[in-house]
Structure 1
Amino acid sequence: MSRHLIYLSILTSLTACAGNSRPAVQQDTTSAITGTDTLNRMVLVPGGTFSMGADDSTGMPDEYPKHSVKVDSFWMDEHEVTNREFAAFVAATGYVTTAEKPISKEELMATLPPGSAEPDSSMLAAGALVFTPPNHAVPFNDVSQWWSFIAGASWQHPEGPGSDIKGRENHPVTQVSWHDAQTYAKWAGKRLPTEAEWEYAARGGLSNQIYPWGSEALTAGKPKANTWNGNFPYKNTHTDGFENTAPVKSYNPNGYQLYDMSGNVWEWVSDLYDARYYAQVENGAANPSGPAKGYDPEDPALEKHVIRGGSYMCSDEYCRGYRVSARMKTTPESGLANLGFRCVRSVTHH
């Protein structure tokens, strides 16, 4: 599937984004993992049963019904994979990300209806979606007002040619596809979390709370996460100190000592996305791994994966993706300026 046609569907998908005691945390002290763990430590998330889904009536339809899920213990990266860590992976493997690969004319034509005109060369360029905000208010139902496909945008050039990651080594890597995240995880001896694992970890040992820190409003008191401040998408007051991505661990961790489970960048998980899945999964399911097939009613032709956690572009007036139950989706080839990932490892791993 052509990334350029996929980007049109991504924009469709993005439009939809509109207390108990806390258990002790353990650090991963094993030395069998790659050297990247010296920077991104893993913490043990103790297994248990929790209620998955929206905690109040403000969720999106795909966050219901709330249902019971059992999750085994697992190790999780304490923060999102950084540019420095991803650079080490690329240096060790020579890996080329999805966004860095041009698209062949044949690949693009195969996705178009029969008889379509041949694409011009600009449609074949490597690149990714970049946040290009307007300087005035725009309708929230037209995300093309603030997203643009930029040729040459990639993890090394997040905003396109002329941008780089110098000085952002400890920021989360962005512009990485699901395939890129999967490949990194395998190289690191890890894997992507399931959606159930991700939400269980994000809750940090709390039950039925809206945010990783509990129920206190995001805007109350000291900034709790890297989100949008001001009027989206044209006015950012930088109240939390950052305009785009923030260095990992810039905010307090949750009860499991996991950082940035809310805001900063969306995070890939392993599951396919089906808007109907919560109504189909068995109540009390153990370690669910998502539906066998994906389904997005807004874009049924393309299969998508779930992304979690919200980003620096989320605000109460537009996208409340920083809630622990919030779900979003996009195609596995997608590269976005506000999308990254973190990894997990099963306790039984050897």
Structure 2
Amino acid sequence: MDPTTDSGHTANCCTPSQDASPSTSWGLPLVSKATGAAHLGPVHEDVAVPAGAFRMGDACGEGYPSDGETPVHEVRLGGFRIDATAVTNRMFAAFIEATGYRTEAEAYGTSAVFHLLVEAPDEDILGRAAGVPWWLNVRGADWAHPRGPHSSWSDVPDDPAVHVSWNDAQAYCGWAGRRLPTEAEWEYAARGGLEGRRYAWGDELVPDGEHRANIWQGTFPAVNTQDDGFLGTAPVKSFPANGYGLYEVAGNVWEWCSDWFLPKYYRNSPAENPQGPTIGPGRVMRGGSYLCHESYCNRYRVAARSSNTPDSSSGNCGFRTVAIEAGTALQRVT
């Protein structure tokens, strides 16, 4: 499938936006949210990423032009600590219990579930997302009910929390005393010390026949052979860690970054600790998901980028966090 729209912009083939289906209830106003005190969150298993420089962007010439993966450019970063895994359902449940926070999917009353994963009565399936018909708008789908109202997070406590918008991820970070990674930090950490490689583990997708990521096998979107063992999300640490000790930086779930997304940003990105542009149509997402497939969306490559609006949620988008070092200012997220 062609990943671009008629206008030449990247189609949101992996995660539908909140306004993807105007005929449904995805456009309802949000309710107010509770806020919690910082530094009360669960213990985060994070890993140290050393200070250094790397070449950011697509060195293999395989990116979608409209995603802005080029030019490849040098970036220098200070050291930081980043989660070894995506934030899990167990961790996100602790946040909800402590704060009473209501996610945007809960406020809207619906969220996007992949059509082969839905666990909901027919009356709660409200329609298909425009342009991405494999996504169904399901009433009652949210972080606690990842496949719809007949499912529960407690059945998959170690899977990444999904149906989490960028705004929800920010709220979690505020409570946990952490922050979202910048896009540059995310790619640097995801590369695990490998320079210019296609994937976080090298250039071969399945080295020695070993699956290194939870992505789609088969014919998208109808048949997944599940050669990697999973149809939907996988528990964290299901696949080997990269060189810095990060798990599932390819596939499984998309991960929010702090940056606004602009395809042209790499042309003028600063070399020192880039924070992203000050405006954009959405926030950056990285890593791909269990739905990515080379036939239409090979964004499980380590340089690949995508985006969505900050209030959007789906069954394949989560996040990981970065520690806020003592004595340092919060990263800009305006």
- TM-score band, normalised by shorter chain: 0.7 to 0.9
Query: Which residue of 63, 68, 73 maps to 1:67?
Result: 73
* Residues 233-276 of structure 1: per-residue CA shift (max 9 Å, x gap): 10010101111000000000000011011110000000000011
Preserved contact between residue 230 and residue 237 of structure 1 (Cα < 8 Å)? yes
Is residue 178 from structure 1 mapped to residue 184 from structure 2 by the alignment? no
- Look up the match of 1:15: 13
| Structure 1: runs of 5 or more not aligned | 1-10, 18-31, 103-125, 135-141, 295-302
CA contact (8 A) 1:133 1:147 kept: no
Shift of 1:170: 0.2
Task: Indicate the percent of aligned positions where both proteins have the same amino acid.
Answer: 48
Q: Post-superposition, which runs of at least 4 consecutive aligned residues in structure 1 deviate over 4 A?
A: 32-35
Spell out, residue by residue over 1:59-107, the C-alpha distance to the aligned partner (whole angstroms, 9 max, x if none).
12210111111111111011000000000000011110011114xxxxx
Q: Is the 8 A contact 1:133 1:145 kept in 2?
A: no
Aligned residues: 284
Q: How does 1:190-201 map to 2 (within 5 A)?
A: 190-201=178-189
Paired residue for 2:227, among 221, 229, 239?
239
What is the alpha-carbon distance in structure 1 between the residues aligned to residue 247 and residue 188 of structure 2? Answer: 14
Contact 2:250/2:289 (8 A) holds in 1: yes
CA distance in 2, matches of 1:144, 1:227: 18
Asked if the contact 2:14/2:292 (under 8 Å) is kept, the reply is: no
Residue pairs, 1:90-101, within 5 angstroms: 90-101=96-107
Give the direction of change, closer, same or farther, for the CA distance of 1:35–1:129 in structure 2 (3 Å limit).
closer
The 2-side partners of 1:305 and 1:191 are apart by: 14
Q: What is the CA-CA distance between 1:159 and the residue it aligns to? A: 1.9
Match of 2:20 in 1: none
1-structure distance, mates of 2:10, 2:193: 34
Contact residue 175 and residue 340 of structure 1 kept, 8 A: yes
Residue aligning to 1:287: 273
2:22 alignment counterpart = none
SS of the residue aligned with 1:101? Answer: helix
2:11 and 2:183 map into 1 onto residues whose CA distance is 18
Name the aligned partner's letter for residue 274 of structure 2. Answer: P
Tell me which residue corresponds to 2:87.
81
1-structure distance, mates of 2:180, 2:253: 15
Q: Displacement of 1:182 after TM fit?
A: 0.5
Bigger-Rg structure (1/2) = 1
Shift of 1:315: 1.3
Q: Report the aligned-residue RMSD.
A: 2.1
TM-score (norm. length: structure 2):
0.81
Per the TM alignment, residue 217 of structure 1 is displaced from its structure 2 partner at its CA by: 2.3
- Greater shift, 63-72 or 217-226, is seen at 217-226
After superposition, give the CA deviation of every residue in 1:175-224 in whole Å (9 maximum; x if it has no partner): 01101000101111100000000000000011111111011224751110
> What is the rounded CA distance, in whole Å, between the counterparts of 1:42 and 1:68 in structure 2?
25
Evaluate the alpha carbon distance shift between residue 213 and residue 59 of structure 1 in structure 2; reply closer, same or farther with a 3 A threshold: same
Alignment of 1:310 with 2:288, yes or no, is: yes
Contact 2:205 2:211 in 1 (8 A): no
Equivalent of residue 154 in structure 1, options 142, 155, 173: 142
Which runs of structure 2 are paired with 1:1-350 in the superposition (5 Å)?
Answer: 13-15=11-13, 34=40, 36-37=42-43, 40-61=44-65, 62-102=68-108, 126-133=109-116, 143-218=131-206, 221-282=209-270, 285-294=271-280, 303-349=281-327
Decide whether the 8 Å contact of 1:227 with 1:264 is kept in 2.
yes
Could you tell me how far apart the structure 1 residues matched to 2:187 and 2:90 are? Answer: 26
Separation (CA, whole Å) in 2 of partners of 1:16 and 1:90: 26
Measured after TM superposition, the shift of residue 346 of structure 1 is: 3.9
